[in-house]
Amino acid sequence: MPKLYRLLTEEDTSAFCHKVSDAMAKGWELYGDPCYAFDAANNMMRCAQAVTKEVESDYSPDMKLGQQ
C-alpha cells in the first residue's frame, strides 16, 4: 500500500494545532517531532509537523494530499 507524506506548516498559534489535529482525524499519522523556526521576514515563530498516511490508490503528483 502506498504511503503519502505531507509537511504541515503554520504560524505558532492554535491554528497549527487545529491543522495537525484535523489531519490526524482524517487518518494521517505523526512522523517525527515537530519543528519550530523564527520567520524573520514576518517576525514570528513558525511550526512544522510531518505526517504520513497509507492509501489504497497509487501515488500521483497530481493528488491533493489535503483531501486524502
The three-state DSSP-derived secondary structure of the chain is CCEEEEEEEEECCHHHHHHHHHHHHCCCEEEEEEEEEEECCCCEEEEEEEEEEECCCCCCCCCCHHHC
Residue 65 reports pLDDT greater than 90: no
Which string of b and e fits 12-45 if b means at least 16 CB within 10 Å? Answer: eeeebeebbeebeeeebeeeeeeeeeeeeeeeee
pLDDT at 14: 95
- pLDDT for residue 59: 84
| pLDDT classification of 1: cutoffs 50, 70, 90 | confident
pLDDT tens digits for 12-64?
A: 999 999 999 999 999 999 999 999 999 999 999 999 999 999 998 888 888 88
